[in-house]
Amino acid sequence: MTSQREVERLYEKLMHDVATKEFYTDIDLANKVNCYVCEECQHITKTKDVDPGVTPFMFTCEVCKATATSTFYTDIAQDCKPTIEWYRPSLKETLKLRKDQGTLDHVLRGGLIDRKCKEAKTSEKQLVFVLELNDTKAIYLDLDCLCDALKMEWESRPDSDIIEEEFKVYGKMMTAKEIDELPEFDGF
């Protein structure tokens, strides 16, 4: 395994190159959009570079996980927004890559690594739990919260109040954006 000190030394050298060498300083990041075409399902995974650096020719299809190949920065999906971004990891992140020698070497030679774009992340759906009484709904992000809320609700009411009272409980898929936009809820 490459020593921590060696990674720090190479990373510092890389930072120097990124700041001074034309290979990095001459790149116009505004137009660094690439497309990876899946060999299996033909889906196009669209990416953008947010740092100057090297990206791989092969990638993994975001839909079926098969191999997808680069169009060499030709945008063949102009109506689609990139879902993946290529970025340069921080020194701290790079040190964590010591367990993965191939990726570590790639990064220290100026390579970028991938992560989901923020916008794409907020449109990803997650399971939430809905507690509904009459027309009032409350959304809980995990089952424990739902149970706590239900318990509190039932314990705080006189018995006569909850007889025959039907609470509806169900799961629902929501995006982070939809959850953010929910009106503040102040209980039943």
- Binding residues for Zn ion, rule: CB under 5 A, are 38, 40-41, 43, 61, 63-64, 66
Minimum CB distance to Zn ion, residue 73 (Å): 20
Measured from the CB atom, is 61 or 84 closer to Zn ion? 61
- Closest approach, Cβ 37 to Zn ion, in A, equals 9
Tell me the closest approach of the beta carbon of residue 64 to Zn ion, in angstroms: 3
Q: Work out how close the CB of 39 gets to Zn ion at its nearest, in angstroms, rounded to a whole number.
A: 8
Any idea what DSSP says for residue 76? S
CA distance 27 to 32: 8
- CA nearest to 174, candidates 144, 130, 137: 130
CB of 80 to Zn ion, least distance (A): 15
**Residue 120 phi, psi (nearest 5):** -70, -35
Q: Which is nearer to Zn ion, 120 or 162 (CB)?
A: 120
Of the candidates 86, 85, 105, 83, the one whose C-alpha atom is nearest the C-alpha of residue 94 is 105
Q: In the complex with Zn ion, which residue's Cβ is closer, 2 or 69?
A: 69
Q: Do strands 58-60 and 44-49 pair parallel, antiparallel, or not at all (unpaired)?
A: unpaired
Triad 140, 146, 152: Cα angle to 5°: 125
Q: Is residue 11 a contact partner of residue 108, using CB atoms and an 8 Å limit?
A: yes
**Is the CB of 61 or the CB of 117 nearer to Zn ion?**
61
The CA-atom distances, in angstroms, between 63 and each of 57, 71, 72 are: 18, 18, 20
